[in-house]
Amino acid sequence: MIIEDYKQQDDPNGEAQVLRQMIFPDKPTQIQSEVPLVYRSSKSTELPAHTTTQSVLMPKKKQKEVVFDRDSLTYECHHAMLAGLCLISEKLSAKVKATEHKLNILVLGTGTGILPMFLRTHFAKNLQKITTVEIDAGVLLAGRDYFGFHTEHEPLIESVCADAH
Mean pLDDT of 61-78: 86
On the 0-12 / 13-18 / 19+ scale of CB atoms within 10 A, 42 is middle
pLDDT digits (tens, 9 = 90+) for 92-109: 777 666 777 778 889 998
Eight-class DSSP state of 106: E
Any alpha helices (H) in 62-136, and if so which ranges? 76-87, 89-99, 114-123
Please report the pLDDT score of residue 47 as a whole number: 74
pLDDT beyond 80 at 12: no
pLDDT digits (tens, 9 = 90+) for 121-149: 888 887 889 999 999 999 999 999 999 99
Domain 76-161 bears CATH identifier 3.40.50.150: yes
Eight-class DSSP state of 162: S
Domain segments of the chain as ranges = 2-68, 76-161
First-last CA distance in the chain: 23
pLDDT band at 115 (very low <50, low <70, confident <90, very high): very high
Contact 19, 8 (CB under 8 A): yes
Q: Which helix (H) or strand (E) holds 140?
A: helix 137-147
pLDDT beyond 80 at 111: yes
d(CA 135, CA 7): 30
pLDDT beyond 80 at 85: no
Please report the pLDDT score of residue 139 as a whole number: 93
* Contacting residues for 18 by C-beta, under 8 A, at least 6 apart: 5, 6, 7, 8, 36, 37, 55, 57, 58
Please report the pLDDT score of residue 144 as a whole number: 93
| Average pLDDT of the chain to the nearest whole number | 85
d(CA 99, CA 141): 37
Contact 24, 149 (CB under 8 A): no
Please report the pLDDT score of residue 113 as a whole number: 92
Please report the pLDDT score of residue 11 as a whole number: 60
